Structure 1
Amino acid sequence: MNVTQALGLAGVILLAAISPGPDFVIMLRSVLSGGRRAGMACAAGIASGVLAWAVVTSVGIAGLLAASSVAFTVVKLAGAAYLVLLGVQALMAARRGGYEQTAAPEVEQARRSVFTAYRHGLLTNLFNPKVAVFFLALWPQFLPHDATVTDTVVLTAVAVLTSLVWFTVLANVVTALRRFLTASKVRRTIDAVMGTLLVGIGVRIALSQ
């Protein structure tokens, strides 16, 4: 593992992270619901998911998942159901409105918001079978057959840190815009759009082969 390989991997991971998808939508909603701390927690959750996929790909478990249609279908449907559930919750929140009443959560509510944001980030990434396919296609390009444990650790660290840095930056950018984005009418529109996107992504994943 040399510097060129590490930078190349970081570039590929960054491009994948930047591409709009479930992780991006979950991050946006986490910041709008719980602020900067929730956004940072969601970023940590997504990075934890990347860590898990990097590890299981390195030991070959992800290969078994891709080879087994039953296992792939279970993960696919679980992930689709989770995204649809989050989408429905966002749509219900948009329908209810009343965001002003929850604009300043108490300490305990803030803690729950941080934990929830981390869980959403982690599960959204873990239950996305396309992430498994992505790592299966990507890992062999950077990890040779004679790779050492150190090579694997470095590769994993690059993938995790790249994801963490990008989503941390995204969380702070959205936080800077939060005063505008959390205005009642704007937030209601965003929740409606995000809910629709999450449901659509969930259905698309469920129908994917």
Structure 2
Amino acid sequence: MNYLHEFLMLTLIHFLAVISPGPDFAIVLRQSISFGRKTAIITSLGIGAGIAVHVIYTLLGIGLLISQSAYLMLSAKVLGATYLTYLGINLLRSKASKDQPSSIKTDNNKEDQKKAFMIGFMTNVFNPKATLFFLAIFSTIINPNTPLAIQSIYGVWIVVTTAAWFSLVSFLFSKEGIRQRFVKQGYWFERVMGAILLAFAAKLFLSLL
């Protein structure tokens, strides 16, 4: 029963965190509108893989080391803010298509799919808030005496549900009707997404001051 209580608390807090707007949501929304369902779901799987990285190093105790080292935490925040800035600037530079202004882009080849996966993966891995989040929930909610095998099950659950949530977001926002509303002025949508990512980056940079 103790494990069930931990699991339910963990599930609730994780759900509230994952549905909160953030860089992951902005990226999946952009992928859904700009490239369609398949690309967005692949990006969602990349986000899930990024979560797995946070879970693994937290279980190994490395997350605690990072949080207690000012230099390591500073490095994590700088890397995260820099990557979000890179993505944001690229989106801000989006321009209208001269050849097919009303066409919907799709990414179907393996290189595009690999790129979509890595965008989701890197966006999540370089999010220092994820480090603090997992450290917080694994140190306050989960009893230190909980077997590592049980904690690993918690981690797998978080990875799966995160990927599932963003896949659901991908499914909803990649519906043809929704995409068609954005596609004619798609470059403006991408610029807005770029501005949002830059705002997250600025918030990270300001936290360093």
Calculate the TM-score normalised by the size of structure 2.
Answer: 0.89
User: How far does residue 141 in structure 1 lie from its aligned partner after superposition?
Assistant: 2.8
For 1:32, the equivalent position in structure 2 comes to 33
User: How far does residue 11 in structure 1 lie from its aligned partner after superposition?
Assistant: 1.7
Contact 1:10–1:162 (CA<8 Å) still a contact in 2?
A: no
Contact 2:48–2:162 (CA<8 Å) still a contact in 1?
A: yes
Q: CA 1:34 to 1:105, structure 2 compared with 1: closer, same or farther past 3 Å?
A: closer
For 2:202, the equivalent position in structure 1 comes to 203
Q: Name the SS for the 1:12 alignment partner.
A: helix
1:74 is aligned with what amino acid? S
For 2:89, the equivalent position in structure 1 comes to 88
Deviations 1:177-208 (A, max 9, x none): 543244222x2331121111111111211221
Q: Distance in 2 between matches of 1:63 and 1:133?
A: 9
For 2:116, the equivalent position in structure 1 comes to 117
Q: CA 1:184 to 1:75, structure 2 compared with 1: closer, same or farther past 3 Å?
A: same
Contact 1:53–1:135 (CA<8 Å) still a contact in 2?
A: yes
Q: Name the SS for the 2:36 alignment partner.
A: helix
**Percent identical:** 27
Q: CA 1:12 to 1:181, structure 2 compared with 1: closer, same or farther past 3 Å?
A: farther
Deviates more, 1:136-145 or 1:76-85: 136-145
1:130 is aligned with what amino acid? K
For 2:139, the equivalent position in structure 1 comes to 140
Deviations 1:117-168 (A, max 9, x none): 2111111111111111111111123321112122112111121122112111
Q: State the Cα RMSD in Å.
A: 1.9
Q: Distance in 1 between matches of 2:155 and 2:55?
A: 6
Q: Unmatched 5+ residue regions in structure 2? A: none
Contact 2:104–2:183 (CA<8 Å) still a contact in 1?
A: no
Q: CA 1:8 to 1:40, structure 2 compared with 1: closer, same or farther past 3 Å?
A: same
Q: Distance in 1 between matches of 2:11 and 2:129?
A: 18
Q: Distance in 1 between matches of 2:179 and 2:114?
A: 22
Contact 2:32–2:173 (CA<8 Å) still a contact in 1?
A: yes
Q: Unmatched 5+ residue regions in structure 1? A: none
For 2:13, the equivalent position in structure 1 comes to 12
